[in-house]
Amino acid sequence: MIKKVQETGHFLLLLARDFPRRNLLLAALAGTLIVTVYLSPGDNKIQPILIAEPITIALDSAPTVKEENHLQLIWQEHLVGSGDNLSTLSQRAKFSAKDVYKISSSPNGKSLRNLYPGEKLRFGANDTGQLIELHYVKTPLESQVFIRQEDSFVAETRVREPEIILSYGEGVIEDSLYLSGKQSNLPDKLIMEMADIFGWDIDFVFDIRPGDSFALLFEDRFIEGVKLSTGNIVAASFTNRNKRYQAVRYTNKKGQSNYYTPEGLSMRKTFLRTPLDIFRISDGFNLRRKHPIHKKIKAHRGVDYAAPRGTPVYAAGGGKVTEAGYSKYNGNYVFIQHGQTYITKYLHLDKKKVRKGQTVKQRQIIGTVGSTGYSTGSHLHYEFLINGVHRNPRTVTLPQARPIPKTDRLEFDLAVSPVLAQLAEYKAARQLATIQNNTTSAN
């Protein structure tokens, strides 16, 4: 289990580089997480379980790799470095230019003309040193294999499906939000995904409190016992200020995957809770707040999201742009009407990306964060109105997106109940292990 910690730690670094724009949010989240998952002494009692029933499409097909006849061949493996090509690698492996030419001029040999650093070539020779097989390993999952037949080579593609193991992770959020250098032992990807899943109900910047906790059941992908990557969250629970939210992943007949409550309601709502890629938020919804510009109490009827200039602003929901203009107070602004009932307003934009009358989809970029109009710094001022009345965008109850259709309900229940049961089982086992451990250490 300790080994696993190191692996995930490494993975975390890689991902952090992939998501530079989200680093701030990540740092904020990661810094708050104490993940007890891989470290708890009760770990040996909880073994990962291979999923028996297909939950995602990836699980449907069994591994297709064929047994290779390694016994008769002597293998060499060469990693493609920068500047390498088939010739340089073959020379290094000491095979004749003639064989190499035969392979590269074969119908499927074209792919060998563009080798990329990090890929591998495996040369298999018989005991007289003749090249019998060449494996072009593009990824751990995909290889192109060239096999000698008489005096030429035939090619085939070998694709392997990773073995998917369900892993469990849990954590408690503590108060050292910005101070703590502690890192979560869960991959960043999972933390991001969790924020996405629960982000419709919970504001991950404003609403998180010390003592909030979560539990995740997620996929780990393995090839020959070696961990390849972390896959999707299949079930999760998040307890925010003593209110528990649960989500489970479900893939319908069309192959579309979404997260639902155990009751089959979509986690996704018809409005985004926060209409931008969040970095930080400076101020909440407070009707008695002192406005920084006017230096007096001015009713603040929205929420201000401080964010760097240029941060994309999304349409919180699908609708029609009723206003897109400029005024002395609002700066560049966009108003969107959503059906008969809802209006959302976006002020102080640096740039508008939509025109009056235009139809927009949820999450479509309608502008960028700026500081135009009466504004002290770069931020988005966002308002949410129901039947013309301002509501707090952070706490207003948002209408649900489409639930699981009645016709799919039975199938949904059959698919998600075992997963939810497993999550509950892991959680209970972990709690028991913690109690036992505390009892033991007390003695």
What are the residues binding Zn ion (CB under 5 A)?
304, 381
Q: Which is nearer to Zn ion, 184 or 274 (CB)?
A: 274
Instruction: Write down the least CB distance from residue 209 to Zn ion, Å.
Output: 24
Instruction: Write down the least CB distance from residue 300 to Zn ion, Å.
Output: 6
**Using CA atoms, how far apart are residues 203 and 382, in angstroms rounded to an integer?**
14
Instruction: Write down the least CB distance from residue 380 to Zn ion, Å.
Output: 9
Instruction: Write down the least CB distance from residue 302 to Zn ion, Å.
Output: 5
Instruction: Write down the least CB distance from residue 282 to Zn ion, Å.
Output: 9
Q: Which is nearer to Zn ion, 51 or 380 (CB)?
A: 380
Instruction: Write down the least CB distance from residue 347 to Zn ion, Å.
Output: 7
Q: Which is nearer to Zn ion, 204 or 346 (CB)?
A: 346
**Using CA atoms, how far apart are residues 316 and 305, in angstroms rounded to an integer?**
14
Instruction: Write down the least CB distance from residue 364 to Zn ion, Å.
Output: 22
Number of residues that make up the chain: 443
Q: Which is nearer to Zn ion, 153 or 285 (CB)?
A: 285
Helix (H) or strand (E) holding 432: helix 409-442
Instruction: Write down the least CB distance from residue 181 to Zn ion, Å.
Output: 33
Helix (H, G, I), strand (E, B), or coil: what is residue 348?
strand
Provide CB contacts within 8 A for 397, sequence distance 6+: none
Instruction: Write down the least CB distance from residue 208 to Zn ion, Å.
Output: 22
Q: Which is nearer to Zn ion, 168 or 333 (CB)?
A: 333
Least Cα distance to 212 among 185, 240, 190 occurs for 240
Displacement of CA 384 from its chain's centroid (Å): 28
Q: Which is nearer to Zn ion, 170 or 304 (CB)?
A: 304
Q: Which is nearer to Zn ion, 174 or 283 (CB)?
A: 283
Q: By Cβ distance, which residue is nearest to Zn ion?
A: 381
User: Alpha-carbon dihedral of residues 309, 310, 311, 315, nearest 10 degrees?
Assistant: 120
Provide CB contacts within 8 A for 217, sequence distance 6+: 166, 167, 168, 233, 234, 235, 236, 419, 422, 423, 426
Longest CA span, the chain: 91
Q: Which is nearer to Zn ion, 68 or 283 (CB)?
A: 283
Displacement of CA 69 from its chain's centroid (Å): 39
429 and 46 in contact (C-beta within 8 Å)?
yes
Helix (H, G, I), strand (E, B), or coil: what is residue 207?
coil
**How far is CA 11 from each of CA 185, 193, 223, rounded to the nearest angstrom?**
10, 15, 16
**Using CA atoms, how far apart are residues 411 and 418, in angstroms rounded to an integer?**
12
Q: Which is nearer to Zn ion, 249 or 381 (CB)?
A: 381
The Cα angle at residue 442 between residues 436 and 443, in degrees rounded to 5: 95
Q: Which is nearer to Zn ion, 199 or 331 (CB)?
A: 331
Burial 168-206 (b: 16+ CB within 10 A, else e): bbbbebeeeeeeeeebbbbbbbbbbbbbebbbbbbbbbe
Instruction: Write down the least CB distance from residue 373 to Zn ion, Å.
Output: 10
Instruction: Tell me whether strands 226-240 and 243-251 are parallel, antiparallel or unpaired.
Output: antiparallel
Instruction: Write down the least CB distance from residue 304 to Zn ion, Å.
Output: 4
The Cα angle at residue 166 between residues 161 and 172, in degrees rounded to 5: 140
**Using CA atoms, how far apart are residues 97 and 86, in angstroms rounded to an integer?**
10
Measure the N-to-C terminal CA separation of the chain; round to a whole number of Å: 25
**Using CA atoms, how far apart are residues 247 and 239, in angstroms rounded to an integer?**
12
Q: Which is nearer to Zn ion, 188 or 304 (CB)?
A: 304
